[in-house]
Amino acid sequence: MIGHIKNEHRMGRNYLAHAQSDAINAILAAAGYNFSLLLKWLKDLLSLLITALYIRPMQLAA
Domain count, the chain: 1
How do residues 13-52 score in pLDDT, each as one tens digit?
A: 666 677 787 788 778 878 888 998 999 999 999 999 998 8
pTM across the whole model: 0.59
Q: According to the model, what pLDDT value does residue 60 have?
A: 56
Do residues 5 and 30 lie in contact, with contact meaning Cβ atoms separated by under 8 Å? yes
Residue 38 belongs to what domain range?
2-61
What is the dihedral angle through the alpha carbons of 4, 5, 7, 12, rounded to the nearest 10 degrees? -120
